Amino acid sequence: MLLAIPNVLTAEQIAESRRIIEAAEWVDGRITAGHQGTHVKRNQQLRPECPSARQVGETIVKALTANPLFLSSALPLYIMPPMFNRYADGQVFGTHVDGAMRLMPNGQRIRTDISCTLFLAAPEEYDGGELVVRDTYGSKSVKLPAGHAILYPSTSLHQVTPVTRGARLCSFFWVQSMIRDDARRALLFDMDVAIQRLAAEHPTNPSVIQLTGVYHNLLRQWTEV
């Protein structure tokens, strides 16, 4: 499931986040690339341990964990501390698949079920820089307003097209979901959306309770924690 989460950050949070990270030290993005990534990755990143990255990362995680659409669609168990990248001057990240496991700063390993990109620059600020995600229905090109995030299955092949004008500034991170399988997670999300709508329109309908029970019992069946 490819899902946009609008307005994760407010305009004020974006401006403040950019002020902090733009003043930090940017390094070659290959520092965090795996074997496959080093050949196709050309960008800049903040070091994961950089205090500016940590500070803005905390703002992002706080905003996400208060966002009902994110919680309902990702069903997060662990969220990797957000990292930051910048593409300019033709920089690019060729087609790749994200590594299955990542090491958290506390030494814990997390499985990457969902890949997330949070856009910090407005689309008008740069040309190119589309995130292209390939799935069974074909390729989808994504370029969202600043403050919006895109979630996509970490199993998918994806790329960032060359940035030919301006700079593309994003945060990126991974989620280990309580539900490993993307199809099951998508079913639960659809069901949650339908229940919420039914509950809003017909709050006393007994089906609301019954369907809520089905939702939670499916979650109990499928959750891996």
Q: Cα(108)–Cα(101) distance, rounded to whole angstroms?
A: 10
Choice between 52 and 117, CB closer to Ni ion: 117
Choice between 98 and 113, CB closer to Ni ion: 98
Choice between 98 and 182, CB closer to Ni ion: 98
Look up residue 21 and give its two tokens. Answer: 């990270």
Choice between 42 and 192, CB closer to Ni ion: 42
State the nearest-atom distance from the C-beta of 186 to Ni ion, in Å.
20
State the nearest-atom distance from the C-beta of 221 to Ni ion, in Å.
31
Choice between 7 and 38, CB closer to Ni ion: 38
Q: % helix / strand / coil in the chain, to the nearest 5?
A: 35, 35, 30
Closest-by-Cβ residue to Ni ion is 98
State the nearest-atom distance from the C-beta of 36 to Ni ion, in Å.
10
State the nearest-atom distance from the C-beta of 159 to Ni ion, in Å.
8
User: Is the Cβ–Cβ distance between 29 and 85 less than 8 Å?
Assistant: yes
* End-to-end alpha carbon distance in the chain: 21
Question: Per-residue DSSP letters for 49-111?
Answer: T-HHHHHHHHHHHHHHTT-HHHHHHH-EEEEPPPEEEEEETT-EEEEE---SEEE-TTS-EEE
3-class secondary structure, 31: helix
Choice between 98 and 192, CB closer to Ni ion: 98
- Residues forming the site for Ni ion (CB under 5 A): 98
Helix/strand number for the chain, H first, E second: 6, 16
State the nearest-atom distance from the C-beta of 98 to Ni ion, in Å.
4
Class of residue 117 by CB neighbours under 10 A (exposed 0-12, middle 13-18, buried 19+): buried
State the nearest-atom distance from the C-beta of 71 to Ni ion, in Å.
23
